């Protein structure tokens, strides 16, 4: 049987082997279902089978061997290119992408040769198949690299944009301080300098935490005896000082003691409250409600304002997600779009979880924390 006919006939066993191999490419594949693991594999195989059935000149063969096959007129992307983009967005690295094609090449040829016995396989089919795999791999690698570069450029662009405003404030305030002798105005200017520096430090801290999670290291936590009432009051006092025009309320119910990383939970709360300040209605308070239960402590950050669209709500804890400029422009606070992602990672590091809900009346972020957590996010 010719290889193109074999691929068309036995595409399901081939896809099963693709899926089984893709499932081993951790950590990205760990949360993927069957459809995601098989992503565009069938279309790639169908394109290869079509290529095998198409007559080819020596010049076309040479161009394809260099990864320069002709572009389809009626398609903006090939299946291999789209596959690469989705794998990049799914967290695969470039070595894992290439490994998929190596495994596909080996499994197809092995299955086909076994099927051909006792007859010898068509040598020209093997050559043409390897050319087609190499072409698909070249297309995937090129698009994967482009996607990674775009993500990197986006992150750097967002970082530069968000740091520009506080940095300018620091520079202008420093110039202003140098022109003053002393007095109350110096203190006020110095306070602005400190606040802007703190904003810059927060952006850099978010970036460092993000890099840790992308490297698979997770958020580092150092648990100790903590009273959420104390650390939350302290965090909210600081936020009230920074946003004197906003009302921030704290409600406490039950026992709020536990074994957690206090500074990290302050960071988690701060990220949620700042998000509520940024996107919530200015005239309505931001409410923090803490409830101590027997095995865990729950707290919610609630605000009034426009409901979050369903599509955005589904990915609101993904990194580099931000609301529209129209929604966030009223406070002038820059961000990397990492606050909610880092909040989620801090909750996970404590063995807990975070959820979001939103309707026309209220948006709320709910956090559940087991009362005791060991370093590494394990419950005691």
Q: Which H or E element spans position 14? A: helix 11-22
| pLDDT(273) > 90 | yes
Output the pLDDT for position 162.
Answer: 72
Which pTM does this prediction carry? 0.53
pLDDT of residue 250: 95
Q: What is the per-residue pLDDT for 186?
A: 73
pLDDT of residue 212: 64
CA separation for the pair 331, 278 (Å, rounded): 6
Q: Using the structure block, give the residue that is written with the tokens 């198949």.
A: 129
Higher pLDDT, 177 or 116: 116
Q: Is the pLDDT at 98 greater than 90, yes or no?
A: yes
**Residues near 141 by Cβ (< 8 Å), separated by ≥ 6?**
84, 94, 97, 98
DSSP, collapsed to helix, strand or coil, labels residue 209 as helix
What's the rounded mean pLDDT across residues 125-138? 90
Q: Does residue 327 carry a pLDDT above 60? A: no
Q: Which of 356, 316, 359 is nearest to 338 (CA)?
A: 316
Reported in sequence order, the residue ranges of 126-197 that DSSP labels E, i.e. its strands, are none
**363 beta partners:** 303, 358
- pLDDT for 67 equals 62
Residue 202 pLDDT greater than 90, yes or no: no
Residue 25 has pLDDT above 90, yes or no: yes
pLDDT given at position 248: 94
Is residue 267 within 8 Å of residue 346, measured between CB atoms? yes
Q: In the chain, which ranges are E strands?
A: 224-227, 248-253, 257-260, 286-292, 296-303, 353-358, 363-370
Residue 176's pLDDT is what?
72
Question: So what's the pLDDT on residue 147?
Answer: 84
Do you find a cis peptide bond into 118, omega within 30 degrees of 0?
Answer: yes
> In this predicted structure, what is the pLDDT of residue 328?
43
β-partners of residue 300 are: 289, 366
Q: What integer pLDDT is reported at residue 34 of this predicted model?
A: 93
pLDDT tens for residues 204-229? 777 777 766 765 666 778 899 999 99
Backbone phi, psi, residue 132, to 5°:
-65, -40
């Amino acid at each position: 049987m010719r290889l193109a006919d074999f691929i068309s006939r036995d595409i399901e066993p081939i896809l099963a082997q693709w899926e089984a191999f893709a499932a081993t490419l951790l950590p990205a594949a760990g949360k993927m279902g069957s459809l995601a693991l098989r992503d565009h594999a069938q279309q790639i195989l169908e394109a290869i089978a079509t290529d095998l059935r198409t007559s080819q000149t020596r010049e076309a063969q040479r161009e394809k061997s260099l990864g320069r096959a002709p572009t389809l007129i009626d398609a903006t992307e090939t299946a291999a290119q789209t596959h690469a983009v989705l794998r990049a967005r799914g967290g695969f690295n470039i070595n894992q992408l290439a490994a998929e094609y190596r495994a596909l090449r080996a499994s197809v040829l092995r299955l086909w040769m076994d099927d051909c016995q006792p007859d010898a396989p068509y040598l020209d089919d093997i050559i043409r198949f390897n050319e087609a795999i190499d072409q698909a791999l070249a297309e995937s690698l090129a698009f994967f690299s482009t996607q990674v570069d775009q993500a990197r450029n986006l992150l750097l662009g967002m970082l530069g944009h968000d740091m520009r405003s506080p940095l300018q404030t620091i520079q202008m305030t420093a110039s202003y301080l140098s022109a003053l002798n002393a007095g109350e105005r110096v203190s006020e200017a110095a306070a602005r300098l400190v606040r802007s520096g703190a904003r810059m430090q927060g952006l850099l801290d978010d970036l460092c935490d993000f890099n840790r999670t992308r490297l698979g290291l997770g958020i580092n936590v150092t648990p100790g005896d903590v009273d959420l009432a104390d650390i939350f009051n302290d965090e909210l006092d600081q936020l009230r000082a920074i946003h004197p025009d906003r009302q921030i309320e704290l409600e406490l119910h039950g026992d709020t003691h536990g074994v957690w990383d206090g500074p990290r939970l302050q960071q988690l709360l701060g990220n949620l409250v700042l998000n509520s300040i940024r996107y919530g209605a200015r005239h309505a308070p931001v409410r923090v409600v803490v409830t101590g239960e027997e095995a865990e402590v729950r707290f919610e950050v609630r605000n009034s304002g426009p409901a979050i669209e369903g599509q955005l709500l589904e990915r609101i804890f993904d990194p580099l997600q931000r609301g529209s400029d129209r929604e966030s422009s009223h406070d002038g606070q820059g961000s990397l779009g990492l606050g909610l992602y880092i909040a989620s990672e801090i909750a996970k590091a404590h063995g807990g979880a975070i959820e979001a809900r939103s309707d026309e009346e209220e948006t709320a972020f709910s956090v559940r924390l087991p009362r005791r957590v060991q370093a590494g996010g394990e419950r005691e």
